[in-house]
Amino acid sequence: MGDAVSMGLRRPAETRTPRWSRKAKSDNITGYLFLAPWVLGFLGFTVGPMLASGYLSLTKYSGFGSTKWIGFENYSKIFSDDLFYTALYNTIYYAFLGVPAQLLVALCLAVLLNMKVRYVNVFRTVYYIPTVTPAVANVFLWVWIFNLDFGLINSLLRLVGIAPVNWLWDPQIVKPALILMSLWSVGQQMVIFLAALQGVPEELLEAAAIDGANNFRRFLRITIPLISPVIFLNLIIGVINLFQTFTVAFIATKGGPINSSLFYVLYIYRKGFESFSMGYASGLAWILFMIILVITALQFYFSQRWVYYESGGAPTT
Amino acid sequence: MEREEKRIESISRQMGAYSLLFLGAVVSLMPLYWLVMTSLRPAGAEFTYPPEWIPSSFHPENYTVAWNRAPFWIFTFNSILVTFLATMGTIITASMAAYAFARIPFYGRNVWFALTLSTMMLPWAVTLIPRFLLFKYLSLLDSLWPLFLPFWFGGGAFYIFLIRQFIMTLPLEMEEAAVVDGASRLRIFLMITMPLTKPAVAAVGVFSFIHHWNDFMGPLIFTNQESTRTLALGLRYFGDEQFTEFRLVMAVATLMLVPVLVVFFAANKYFVSGVALTGLAGR
């Protein structure tokens, strides 16, 4: 782990202009040759498909035969589609409750793992295991854990005398249940927090302790501001990921009960690959893209108020 | 006396720390315990009430029964092939792009780098349908090509960024000496930079392995035939029985988890450091 810490905390050296910068022309050629696969992939698998998706959203297309130009008809249909609003509501609910919950759990785990005790490395490994579990296996496992009569959680609840809960088949409870499930595998965010915590200078915390600040105060006033850039990073990534939740709803709940776990990407999948309305589905996808863009932009805007950069520079992501 | 008090305080602190850590470990591992225990139960015993914490008898034959339900050998072979080819592509092409971003001052580098980072915030759902249509147009649906070919084109912004950050921390002196000796860029990249970049490349390799081994959406969209299914998709093979024969589903899920855990334990060091390195993004 010593290796990891040094890797994580060493700042990248400033980009120096190498001595051979005279060979500017050959640098341009070799530079783009090295970059060629990525540039081709960027154009062929990202920019191209994005434009294609924008075009398709203005057409009627079943995936077979030819496209038929219909202008903004898909969009006007989407905006009067009840299921669109259901899917959007479910997704926003899931993301706005799920992301803070995930970050809180990940941060608490990271704080635990940052304690200076022996064998903490072993725990670090153990805490990460759920995160490498294959998503499909994970979903089946949790369907089983959430089972009304024979599941793990209800068995535990029964031990302490609480009535069993119908986790996945109650429209009121299914979304919180899926959030609870997602809290089991927050290893990625946890490790990023851990690296940040290890970068908080010991001297600052000691100085505050001498001034009489207790643990909690030090954490709130020193640690949190210092790791705020990483909280911001996890927040951005978390929102983008949860807005695209698919596998769990596709396998475990199939969007139910009564569409209460119909998430946005599941709705795109159903429209595109089950009803073969690829134009309509592309319109849905573009609306999702715009929503994520706006939310991300808002987060960057508001980040100026609470994210603290030591160097005073702008965020690099 | 005071020293004694301090010692007791530190011991009780450690006890508190360990009990919290243990609690977290129990919560982390409990579902996996449930997974393995369910896979070993006798037929029909998934549905005994109340559920048994330890099966009344162990039935490892569940594993062979589950394995013979579907052509899991084919699924496994497909998974291995896709994971291997996609990971190779990612490592090779992401390293090339990372090297260019870190070391070659070509025209437009900063713009390309910003574009690269911005793709990390792009929802993949937007490109899903056109990608499907692209591979349909190329007549590559129902083959394994769509599952690894795109990863021979840079592998993804996250991996490029991770390797680039690492190369930036390497000293320039050796490369400069090699230039004086007249070595070409390609030679420097292959003989000097790449060997030093091993920890980052290993981290990328492990990430990519786990991602492709676990990937569900890709195979779901691009493959429709039994002969091209991967394990992640094959797990759904139990159809509606998947919700009645949990012990069999759990057996295959356990088998699918084993390679991931082996790789994770073998490369744990690189794995954690790799994630930590991306934490630099926020600094």
Tell me what pLDDT residue B272 has: 66
Q: Is residue A156 located within the same domain as residue A42?
A: no
Q: Is residue A268 located within the same domain as residue A125?
A: yes
Q: Is residue A256 located within the same domain as residue A147?
A: yes
User: A265, A164, A172: which is closest to B129 by C-alpha?
Assistant: A265
Residues of A whose CB is below 8 A from B17: 112, 115, 117
pLDDT tens digits along B252-278: 889 999 998 898 888 877 766 666 665
Give the Å distances, CA to CA, from A81 to A176, A190, A271, B213. 25, 39, 12, 37
Tell whether the model's pLDDT for residue A1 goes beyond 70: no
Q: Is residue A130 located within the same domain as residue A30?
A: no
How many residues are listed for chain B in this entry?
Answer: 283
Tell whether the model's pLDDT for residue B242 goes beyond 60: no
In a domain, A11, yes or no: no
Residues of A whose CB is below 8 A from B210: 132
Is the bond preceding residue B219 a cis peptide, omega within 30 degrees? no
In a domain, A24, yes or no: yes
Strand partners, A69: A59
pLDDT tens digits along B58-98: 888 889 888 888 888 999 999 999 999 999 999 999 999 99
Residues of A whose CB is below 8 A from B168: 12-13, 15
In a domain, A6, yes or no: no
Number of domains in chain B: 2
Q: Is residue A135 located within the same domain as residue A46?
A: no
Q: Flag if A150 and B275 touch (Cβ within 8 Å).
A: no
Which among B121, B275, B282 has CB closest to A191?
Answer: B275
Question: Which amino acid does the sequence have at A122?
Answer: V
Q: Is residue B25 located within the same domain as residue B128?
A: no
Tell me what pLDDT residue A311 has: 56
In a domain, A125, yes or no: yes
Where does residue A116 rank: exposed (0-12), middle (13-18), buried (19+ CB within 10 A)?
exposed
Tell me what pLDDT residue A7 has: 39
Q: Is residue A286 located within the same domain as residue A268?
A: yes
Mean of the pLDDT values across residues A143-154? 83
Q: Is residue B13 located within the same domain as residue B74?
A: no
Number of domains in chain A: 2
Most confident of A21-35, A77-91, A298-312: A77-91
Q: Is residue B46 located within the same domain as residue B77?
A: no
Q: Is residue B95 located within the same domain as residue B137?
A: yes
Q: Is residue B76 located within the same domain as residue B91?
A: yes
Q: Is residue A49 located within the same domain as residue A142?
A: no
In a domain, A94, yes or no: yes
Contact at 8 Å (CB) between A51 and A289? no
Rounded distance, CA B101 to CA A158, Å?
57
Return the CATH number at A207.
1.10.3720.10
Rounded distance, CA B217 to CA A236, Å?
22
Mean of the pLDDT values across residues B39-68? 79
Rounded distance, CA A126 to CA A41, Å?
37
Tell whether the model's pLDDT for residue B241 goes beyond 70: no
Q: Is residue A216 located within the same domain as residue A259?
A: yes
Q: Distance (Å) from the C-alpha of residue B143 to the closest C-alpha of chain A?
A: 18
A286–B contact, CB cutoff 8 A: yes
Domain of residue A70, residue span: 57-306
**B70-95: string of b/e by CB count within 10 Å (b at 16+)?**
bbbebbbebbeebbebbbbbbbbbbb
- Out of B36, B63, B90, a domain closes at B63
> Taking a contact as any Cβ pair under 8 Å apart, which residues of chain B between 170 and 229 contact chain A?
171-172, 175-176, 179, 185-186, 189, 199, 210, 213-214, 216-217, 220-221
Tell me what pLDDT residue B282 has: 40
In a domain, A38, yes or no: yes
Domain of residue B20, residue span: 2-63
> Mean pLDDT for chain B?
85
Q: Is residue A95 located within the same domain as residue A45?
A: no
In a domain, A311, yes or no: no
> Taking a contact as any Cβ pair under 8 Å apart, which residues of chain A between 187 and 246 contact chain B?
188, 191-192, 194-196, 199, 229-230, 232-233, 236-237, 240, 243-244, 246
B258–A contact, CB cutoff 8 A: no
> What percent of chain A clears pLDDT 90, i.e. is strictly above it?
37
Interface test with A, best of B96, B216, B243, B272 (most A CBs within 10 A): B272
Token pair for residue A182? Answer: 């997602």
Q: Is residue B79 located within the same domain as residue B208?
A: yes
Return the CATH number at B190.
1.10.3720.10
- Out of A54, A80, A99, a domain closes at A54
B118–A contact, CB cutoff 8 A: no
Residues of B whose CB is below 8 A from A315: 282
> What percent of chain B clears pLDDT 90, i.e. is strictly above it?
26
Q: Is residue A170 located within the same domain as residue A283?
A: yes
A104–B contact, CB cutoff 8 A: no
Tell me what pLDDT residue A107 has: 94
Residues of A whose CB is below 8 A from B123: 240, 243-244, 285, 288-289, 292
Q: Is residue B46 located within the same domain as residue B147?
A: no
Strand partners, A59: A69
Find all residues with CB under 8 Å of B9, minimum gap 6, and list them: none
A31–B contact, CB cutoff 8 A: yes
> Mean pLDDT for chain A?
84
Tell me what pLDDT residue B273 has: 67
Q: Is residue A72 located within the same domain as residue A44?
A: no
Q: Is residue B46 located within the same domain as residue B171?
A: no
Q: Is residue A170 located within the same domain as residue A32?
A: no
In a domain, A9, yes or no: no
Mean of the pLDDT values across residues A142-156? 83
Q: Is residue B89 located within the same domain as residue B153?
A: yes
pLDDT tens digits along B156-200: 888 998 899 888 888 888 888 888 888 888 899 999 899 988 888
Q: Is residue B42 located within the same domain as residue B88?
A: no
